[in-house]
Structure 1
């Protein structure tokens, strides 16, 4: 008999049905007609736009905020420079079109940078220190030209987005907006085994550091290009607005700071641990609840982060599972006679002698694993045994296999 862990079968691939070359031809024909229609309409549409000046810009309004997500797990083997968590969001700046048409074309430029003269230096990689020694913070702009631009400490802002300031007078709309997309990252900057103990939660970047976001109206002839730096205008009717995020404000844009960084261990997917309970004579089980000699084994995780607190839960893979949630239902390969009146139990071998309870994922009982901090290994010692569950008229010799799936959780 063997107890298998995580023998997860892959699902077959799904193929999309097609209609052959005829379907592809019709799709291209439709696309060509659509492009023709757009081409015919574009000439008259451009004639309806007027050059204007962008005025009365508002402070950026956070929107399209995605929650912080784990990009790479933090374990004792995580490499320095690894991105641990990230999130994406956008800042929308509204403006008013100037009251009269402008002779020359204008554009509204969005810029950003780590402000000079505040806080510690910012490295060439754009990473700044945080309240957690060993965790850095990085801010990128995701420009519409497809380039991700890292914010750095510079005297002038970096142009990260721009739009043409064009008004359609016949619509009655007198306001517009521009959206700049950004990403923020939490990055490992030192040996993970040297991180401070306890909860690892970034609440702010180093004191004094500031990021300033700008919106400025420029004559298009000035030629501000994405990725270049520019000097903010101070005069004229157009926008020249800025907003500054301080060391705590920038990590809390759109809500609170990031959640704690989860401390994990290396997990081998589809790990299988066989446990051979041997061939046991049926007359070894005289009474209900009699058991076979225990077979000892353990489930272990390696390269655990210093603050990892892994738990493990189990599920009986038999369908349906046993009514007694502490007993694995027996199973047998095709063609084999299945034993009757027996099951398999697993017991913790850490002094508690607690029998393992099986349940559905998310609802099963979680068991703490023991962390060996010097070795960065988490373990749970176990034993497995056959157990008699049926009366004299119910028991029958035969093949007695069972399978349990286990899942790790890192709070």
Structure 2
């Protein structure tokens, strides 16, 4: 700001993005020096080792697994893999969640030289057809798939077949010095996925809350003790009918409806309808060059410069909102953006923005503003300009840059 036409002044608007409960901020430097932060690929790995057992001793005894029970409190939160926009391809994995299902067991005594393995097996039962191993959910157009990260490094989808398939296995051996009744456990690492099965435009309206698997097919899992190498990972398993010794593991674990989604705890998931956000783009707004004569009193403003913020490829039901925050603290008026401090910065001036959807000044205090849907885009038209805030004694000429950060939410 100058009492003569000193230099062009720029208000640089810096962008961030919030998806669901998370905000991803981009710290972009003003004056054109931009540091870019790119979204990294999300990799879901096995959570726990395949077996937690006794420490190896000089002589371990071959045994059998008896008194099996299941526990599954180690489920992780859902993680977004592919945002749901108007162009998300059919077949995309939208969200994923790893779940560690634990099989607890006790040793059944020595079996001599006969080695045994505890085997995790499973399959989808007959009923509703499951093409590509994808089960329907309560939201038409979003399917559910479950796989196992087996200890041989293969990710195996659980499919709809006539017999259970071996998904994990561990040898059953124990240290006799610790006593026969010691307990152990085996962990099977599952991976749940939500899959888009129709074009986004065909999804139902309203909130997309997936809380159960639909249809008549169930998820049938087993923990079964077998002679070593009778079962091979990925191969069919025949569940023996004998019960020798008493309590030998032949344990079924049947899941239907909500129990499949809730496996491991954590419940369902709301899939947000979103838009494509260019999360590392800076929007410069050049406000022009002015002299002090253009601002004769407190409250005087410069001619506003129009611009807009736009999102593209919005899902049919996306209703984005935007909030603004000032990068310079200490507000006396939440609707006035402070100037960036520097040795040459002006004093007694600020920046205002007008929301052309409601004709009101934008506040930089986290107030949410609806964006307008236009086709598969969402926009908010704005106007920005300078405002005088100081008395004659408080005004100083100089640079007049400002920076605001904006955040999108998809309620």
Q: Normalising to structure 1: TM-score of the pair?
A: 0.83
Out of 131-140 and 48-57, give the one that drifted further: 48-57
Who is 1:157 aligned against?
164
Picking from 59, 72, 80, the partner of 2:82 is 72
Picking from 262, 267, 278, the partner of 2:277 is 267
Q: Distance in 1 between matches of 2:106 and 2:11?
A: 69
SS, match of residue 407 in structure 1: strand
Who is 2:154 aligned against?
147
Q: Which has the higher contact order (CA 8 A, sep 6+)?
A: 2
Q: Distance in 2 between matches of 1:45 and 1:165?
A: 13
Q: Distance in 2 between matches of 1:405 and 1:99?
A: 66
- Cα 1:75–1:358 change in 2 (3 A) is same
Who is 1:281 aligned against?
291
Who is 1:215 aligned against?
223
Matched, 1:356 2:367: no
SS, match of residue 79 in structure 1: coil
1:108-147 aligned within 5 A: 108-115=118-125, 117-118=126-127, 120-123=128-131, 125-147=132-154
Q: Distance in 1 between matches of 2:56 and 2:326?
A: 65
Residue 252 of structure 1 and its aligned partner are, at CA, apart by 1.5
SS, match of residue 308 in structure 2: strand
Residue 255 of structure 1 and its aligned partner are, at CA, apart by 3.2
Who is 1:33 aligned against?
none
Out of 206-215 and 320-329, give the one that drifted further: 320-329
Q: Distance in 2 between matches of 1:398 and 1:53?
A: 83
Who is 1:28 aligned against?
none
Who is 1:196 aligned against?
204
Out of 99-108 and 303-312, give the one that drifted further: 99-108
Out of 394-403 and 135-144, give the one that drifted further: 394-403
* Higher share in strand: 2
Who is 1:8 aligned against?
28
- Please say if residues 112 and 214 of structure 1, whose CA atoms lie closer than 8 Å, have aligned partners that are also in contact: yes
Q: Distance in 2 between matches of 1:102 and 1:110?
A: 24
Q: Distance in 1 between matches of 2:12 and 2:56?
A: 67
- Please say if residues 212 and 268 of structure 2, whose CA atoms lie closer than 8 Å, have aligned partners that are also in contact: no
SS, match of residue 162 in structure 2: coil
Q: Distance in 1 between matches of 2:105 and 2:133?
A: 30
Matched, 1:399 2:410: no
Q: Distance in 1 between matches of 2:286 and 2:81?
A: 38
SS, match of residue 201 in structure 2: helix
Q: Distance in 2 between matches of 1:270 and 1:93?
A: 46
Q: Distance in 2 between matches of 1:45 and 1:322?
A: 65
SS, match of residue 52 in structure 1: strand
Residue 198 of structure 1 and its aligned partner are, at CA, apart by 0.3
- Cα 1:200–1:353 change in 2 (3 A) is same
Picking from 162, 174, 186, the partner of 2:182 is 174
Q: Distance in 2 between matches of 1:330 and 1:11?
A: 21
Rg larger for: 1
**RMSD of the alignment, in Å?**
2.2
